[in-house]
Chains A and B, each alone.
Chain A
Amino acid sequence: MLDIDIADLKRISELIHQKYSYDFRNYAMSSFKRRVLRIMELKKLSVDALLKKLTDSPAFINEFLDELTVNVTEMFRDPGFWRIMREEIIPAIMLNHKQFKIWHAGCSSGEEVISMCIMLKEMGIHGDVNLIATDLDVNILEKAKAATYPIKNMELNEKNYIRFQGTGNFKDYYKEEGGNAVFNKDLFMNVSFRRHDLVVGDLFNKFDLILCRNVMIYFNQTLQNEVLKKFHESLFKYGYLAIGSKESLIWCDYASRFIVVNNEEKIYKKIKD
């Protein structure tokens, strides 16, 4: 059975950091190890062969990133979260702002972006919201932009949508083409997709709401702390941050600048600059 020790994992993240502009040195060890082992298994590479390939063929880095980052997601994951978005959070933002901005940080293949756009459309405010969706992986961003998914995923997505109690018919949002569900591009009218790395990237805008669900679980606490600082700076005062239902930020230095709005769905509000 394949295995890899921590020293080799460190060699890999150091090499990537030196040679490419990515920094995995503060990723959570257990999942980083599984991801690297997965790549070694998929590509039939030993540790030394992997290091050599990363050194010698720069084109390999995109393939590597694509497998390293976790791109498993679903539309309307945690339907209760989306109901609270619709019934509490978005209305609260709208009390003070007619137009507002949302950042999907680590958007992966775009399922959450589509969920948000469907929800905003059903709320009748689709045109009032600007969305920016970012990911560090260029390949996955292309997939997100294409908004095309295997039709077999739609059963789960539709179940979630029904439990979210969407007001439309889920099937109306996509067309079936050759085994795929191709989502209506109008949903993305106010969305801009761009490459951005949460770890090394600069701040680029200010937002009323940031969604970053199940992304920071792949970071260690040092990195979570740094990223929370970035989110804090990227939020307007009284802006909201949503993380995954089993994530927590209570140990971060910046946690005291937020209050918990909903503990079940891990929605926080920035209350201090």
Chain B
Amino acid sequence: MSKFNLNNSYKAVVIGGSAGSFQGVVKILSQLPKGFPLPIIMCLHRLKHVRNGFVEALSIKSVVQVTEPNDKENIKKGCVYLAPANYHMSLELGNHFALSTEEMINNSRPAIDITLGSCAYVYKDKLVGILLSGANRDGALGMKNIHDRGGLTLVQEPTECMIDTMPKAALAATKIDHVLKVDQIVEFLKELDKQYR
């Protein structure tokens, strides 16, 4: 019997994180089942003016190569995407990415709220949103958008977070379906994977 009561209707997983999320993301990507069927779309706060290195660092242990999409790039199943430095990353109806250089939001570009909010709009109840450790409120509104559109919401267990402001802000902003440690998030993704086998 499924622990998380999952099904195979989901079309994408979106992950947001900031300070203290790097290790968690690395763990998730390194333990991802081979051939994970959904695209994973990540928006992680990062240095605005360092374009190179981050995607490489994330890719070292990752099961799947992480890529920073170009504007208008189509989203493919089983790929892992990272919002590029100094651009906001949205999803567009029609299944492609849209980048923008608009004003910073929550002092961030890329801003997690933009990525999560646009994913919620495009995927509605077919989306899993995961918010990890972080030091500001970015992502809380995005998680609310996901919940309001019927998607599934997960946050990292605040006690496990290096900085718990971000998951706590999400917990205060909306209904969170699961509060999980990183190991449990990995379990969750493995179980999600099984639904598609």
Contacts and interface: CB of A to CB of B under 8 A. Distances in A.
B71 A217 contact: yes
A73 interface: yes
A70 B71 contact: no
A218 to B, nearest CB: 7
B71 A30 contact: no
Contacts of A214: 101
A30 B51 contact: no
B100 interface: yes
B91 A30 contact: yes
B58 interface: no
Interface residues of B, number: 23
A30 B92 contact: yes
Given A28-B92, A221-B72, A245 B101 contact: no
B99 interface: yes
A246 B90 contact: no
Contacts of B100: 30-31, 34, 70, 217-218
A163 B114 CA distance: 29
B98 interface: yes
B90 A31 contact: yes
B110 to A, nearest CB: 11
A246 B84 contact: yes
Indicate the member of B68, B72, B87 with the most A CB atoms within 10 Å: B72
Contact of A160 (B49, B92, B102): B49
B73 interface: yes
B177 interface: no
A25 to B, nearest CB: 16
A94 B71 CA distance: 32
Contacts, number: 63
A246 B71 contact: yes
On chain A, which size bracket covers the interface? 20 to 34
Given A78-B51, A246-B84, A31 B98 contact: yes
B20 to A, nearest CB: 25
A30 to B, nearest CB: 4
B107 interface: no
A29 B93 contact: yes
A165 interface: no
Contacts of A248: 70-73
A88 interface: no
B183 interface: no
A163 B49 CA distance: 10
Indicate the member of B71, B73, B100 with the most A CB atoms within 10 Å: B71
Given A218-B100, A248-B72, 16 more contacts: A28-B98, A29-B92, A30-B118, A31-B98, A34-B114, A35-B102, A72-B101, A72-B102, A73-B101, A80-B51, A217-B98, A246-B68, A246-B69, A246-B84, A247-B70, A247-B71
11 contacts: A30-B90, A30-B118, A34-B100, A34-B102, A72-B101, A77-B86, A217-B71, A217-B100, A244-B71, A246-B71, A248-B73
Please name the 8 residue pairs, one residue from A and one from B, whose CB atoms are nearest each other, closest first: A30-B90, A248-B70, A217-B71, A30-B98, A214-B101, A31-B100, A247-B71, A30-B92
Interface of B: 49, 51, 68-73, 84, 86-87, 90-93, 98-103, 114, 118
